[in-house]
Amino acid sequence: MRAALLALLLGALTSGAEPPAPPAPTTITVATARGSMAVPVAMERGHPALPAPLLQRLLPVAERRLDGWAFVDFADQPFQFLLGAPVLLYAGRLLPLVGGAYVARDTLFVPLQWLTEYIPAMFAEGYRYDPRAARFEEVRLGSVVTASYEAASELGRRSGFRMAHLVVLDAGHGGVDNGNPGRYLPRGVQEKHVNLAIAKLLRTELEAHGIDVLMTRSTDTLIDLRQRAPMCRNECDLFVSIHVNSMPRRRGYERINGVETYFLGDALTEEARRVAEMENEALRYETGAAAEMDADLAFIFKDLHTNEFLRESALLADLVQSQAAGVHPGEDRGVSQNRFVVLATATRPAILLETGFATNRRDGAYLASTEGQRELAKAAAAGIVEYLRQYESKVLVGTER
């Protein structure tokens, strides 16, 4: 069926084939009022294409894939690409392309021609492209904060990175919100203290790899749940929230132990519901926030079904969990989805790491120890570094080194 449709579309284009395109640039600059970045141009399929995840950082681009098609929205306008075919469907019209959209390493690449020719023509009042400067920009461009995504620092290059990276680390709770009771944490040590200690050690590990880090808090202060993930935007790559788990008092609760990692979603187990209720309790410190939570999350989950960052969050969670479980003395509790408010406002890949149970004697001693905190920080860093390396291998595939 797909082959027949492809033949039909190609036949319709035969009489109006476009002349050969001029040589493509190796990178183009995308500039908006939110920032500027250099996007590498891939040539692996013989025609210039751009990695959609990088475009999503500054442009109103969303994408989903189904049955050999890529559905790409630009400013809420729908475009349809038959993967592998040099055509574009828009508003019922068949538009020719030098080369089509395709998927490489689970990453969608869209034709450069779509962004530099069709988008400026359809959104003339909003965007333009200068082929001499290889620059795609907003027409009414205000002040721009420039960020280079293709060039890592010298320290980053020694860690194998080609791009600069920024990670936002969130030490859960803080201030008047102490976190869970911490039955087996030492006297005077609370969850908020353990979270911050691990987050600071994780920052040190990431910076040693040339990765920039922004902390949602670096002192014992309370930050609203909804304000944490939005600190990861524009040039930020991912958001990681650090927490300590606990069990309510019931038969056998002290035996429950181990490390687990969550990403946002509504495929909930009974255990996930319990953890979500515990972590979302911090809303009680935010006036009027709890009443709005369910409606907000319902809208967010509907939007996330077409969001590339959901798949990326799952991959990040798997990599971090694998590393953390390798050093943790407790059980490997795996990766799950959950309705965490702290992740609900994320616009980048985001995870929440539950580092162990303060209601388990062995976990509590491990989490309170400098050695345990350092081991978990190193493990989480290893997972994050591997995720960023895999991310680069996807978005930079087919580009010059």
* DSSP calls for 201-254: HHHHHHHTTT-EEEES-SSS----HHHHGGGS-TT--EEEEEEEE---SSTTGG
Work out the pLDDT band at 20, boundaries 50, 70, 90. low
The predicted structure's pLDDT at residue 354: 97
DSSP-assigned letter for residue 123? T
pLDDT at 11: 53
* Averaged pLDDT, 228-252: 90
Q: Are residues 209 and 332 in the same domain?
A: yes
Is there a domain that residue 158 lies in? no
**Which of 80, 114, 148 is the last residue before a domain boundary?**
148
Question: Residues 119, 174: one domain?
Answer: no
Residues 211 and 320 in one domain: yes
Q: Which residue has the higher pLDDT, 42 or 6?
A: 42
Same domain flag for 89 and 132: yes
Question: Is the same domain home to 194 and 123?
Answer: no
pLDDT exceeding 90 applies to what percent of the chain? 56
Under a CB-based contact definition with an 8 Å cutoff, are residues 366 and 372 in contact?
yes
Does residue 275 contact residue 245 with C-beta atoms inside 8 Å? yes
What is the C-alpha to C-alpha distance for residues 86 and 48, in angstroms, rounded to an integer? Answer: 12
CA distance 301 to 309: 12
Q: What CA–CA distances, in Å, run from 89 to 46, 285, 306? A: 21, 49, 19
* Residue 159 maps to a domain: no
Q: What is the CATH number of the domain that holds 221?
A: 3.40.630.40
Q: Is position 399 within any domain?
A: no
Task: Say yes or no: 169 and 138 in one domain.
Answer: no
- Measured distance between the N- and C-terminal CA atoms of the chain, rounded to whole angstroms: 39
Give a yes or no: residue 156 inside a domain.
Answer: no
Indicate the average pLDDT of the chain: 84
324-358 confidence digits (pLDDT tens):
999 999 999 999 988 888 888 887 899 999 999 99
The answer, yes or no, to whether residue 107 has pLDDT greater than 60, is yes
Strands 93-96 and 87-90: antiparallel
Task: Report the residue count for the chain.
Answer: 401
Average pLDDT for 297-316: 64
Q: How far apart are CA 345 and CA 300, in angstroms?
A: 8
Tell me, yes or no, whether 106 lies in a domain.
yes
| pLDDT score of 35 | 78
**Together in a domain, 270 and 369:** yes
pLDDT for 176-215, tens place per residue? 999 988 889 999 899 999 999 999 999 999 999 999 999 9
Note the pLDDT of residue 343: 87
Taking residues 264-280, report their average pLDDT. Answer: 70
Q: Based on the domain organization, do 85 and 173 belong to the same domain?
A: no
Answer yes or no: is 42 within a domain. yes
**Whole domain around residue 31: which residue ranges?**
2-148
DSSP state of 146: B
Same domain, 131 and 216: no
23 domain-assigned: yes
Task: Report which of 321, 341, 348 is spatially closest to residue 262, judged by C-alpha positions.
Answer: 321
Question: Residue 27 domain-assigned?
Answer: yes
Alpha carbon 117 to its chain centroid, in Å, reads 28
Lowest mean pLDDT among 21-25, 53-57, 127-131, 172-176: 21-25
pLDDT band at 300 (very low <50, low <70, confident <90, very high): very low
What percent of the chain lies above the pLDDT cut of 70?
81
What is the pTM (predicted TM-score) of this model?
0.72
Q: Which of 6-20, 54-68, 104-118, 258-272 has the lowest mean pLDDT?
A: 6-20
Domain match, 390 and 288 both:
yes
Q: How confident is the model at residue 305 (pLDDT cuts 50, 70, 90)?
A: very low
Domain identity same for 111 and 223: no
pLDDT tier at 308, thresholds 50, 70, 90: low
Q: Are residues 18 and 143 both part of a single domain?
A: yes
- CATH number for the domain harbouring residue 18: 3.30.457.10
Please report which confidence band the pLDDT of residue 12 belongs to, taking 50, 70 and 90 as the band edges: very low
pLDDT, average across residues 101-110: 92
Number of domains in the chain: 2
- Inform me whether the pLDDT recorded for 385 exceeds 60: yes
